[in-house]
């Protein structure tokens, strides 16, 4: 199911099947991608089990997992996920943000805009929290440009907070990239 559409990509809900599990394992184990992600097993069976558990969290409105697909070819080029929803502080976390080498030139910006639009407007959250590996300098720089603020850190990660208000201000510059 297509959730939101950009200029060159769209978000499609991940389904619980062998092909989805295989693609996620492939995406998570790219040389560049796995450097910045939590380690996972390379087993399709383990990924299928994880997806089965995810389905329950999704049914409860606690998690949302999307493939990022190219509009021109329908090819899966990445993933992005909403999880760690904290209703008491009206906040969601997003991550598992992976884009492979077949991404479009604007796929990173479009997927960022689409996942935040979904969470802030469809799910109606007011805040976002997320972490980024300290050695992922490009992503850290990107988030700072959007207005996200580092609120804490540990040995491995910076922890960010972001608001709907800051997203609205940032996204005004890029309205033409999402529909």
Tell me the pLDDT tens digit for each residue of 105-131: 999 999 999 999 999 999 999 999 999
Q: Are 178 and 115 in contact (CB under 8 A)?
A: no
Q: Are 139 and 173 in contact (CB under 8 A)?
A: no
Q: Which residues contact 4 (CB under 8 A, 6 or more apart)?
A: 10, 11, 114, 117, 118, 178, 179
The total number of structural domains that make up the chain:
1
Name the 3-class secondary structure at 171: helix
Does a structural domain hold residue 155? yes
Does a structural domain hold residue 3? no
Q: What is the CATH number of the domain that holds 143?
A: 3.40.630.30
Q: How far is CA 146 from CA 69, 70, 109, in A?
A: 23, 24, 10
- Digit-coded pLDDT (tens) for 130-142: 999 999 899 999 9
Does a structural domain hold residue 2? no
What proportion of the chain, given as a percentage, has pLDDT over 90? 77
Does a structural domain hold residue 22? yes
């Amino acid at each position: 199911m297509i959730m939101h559409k950009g200029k060159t990509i769209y978000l499609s809900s991940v389904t619980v099947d062998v092909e989805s599990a295989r693609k996620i394992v492939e995406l998570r184990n790219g040389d560049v991608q796995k450097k910045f992600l939590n380690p996972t097993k390379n087993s399709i069976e383990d990924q299928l089990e994880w997806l089965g558990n995810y389905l329950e969290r999704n049914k409860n409105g606690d998690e949302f997992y999307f493939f990022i697909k190219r509009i021109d070819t329908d090819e899966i080029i990445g993933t992005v996920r909403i999880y760690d929803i904290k209703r008491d502080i009206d906040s969601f976390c997003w991550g598992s943000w992976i884009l492979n080498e077949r991404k479009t030139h604007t796929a990173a910006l479009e997927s960022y805009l689409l996942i935040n639009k979904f969470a802030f407007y469809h799910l109606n959250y007011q805040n976002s929290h997320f972490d980024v590996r300290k050695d992922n300098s490009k992503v850290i720089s990107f988030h700072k440009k959007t207005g996200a603020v580092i609120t804490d850190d540990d040995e491995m990660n910076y922890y960010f907070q972001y608001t709907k208000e800051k997203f609205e201000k940032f996204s005004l510059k890029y309205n033409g990239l999402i529909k």
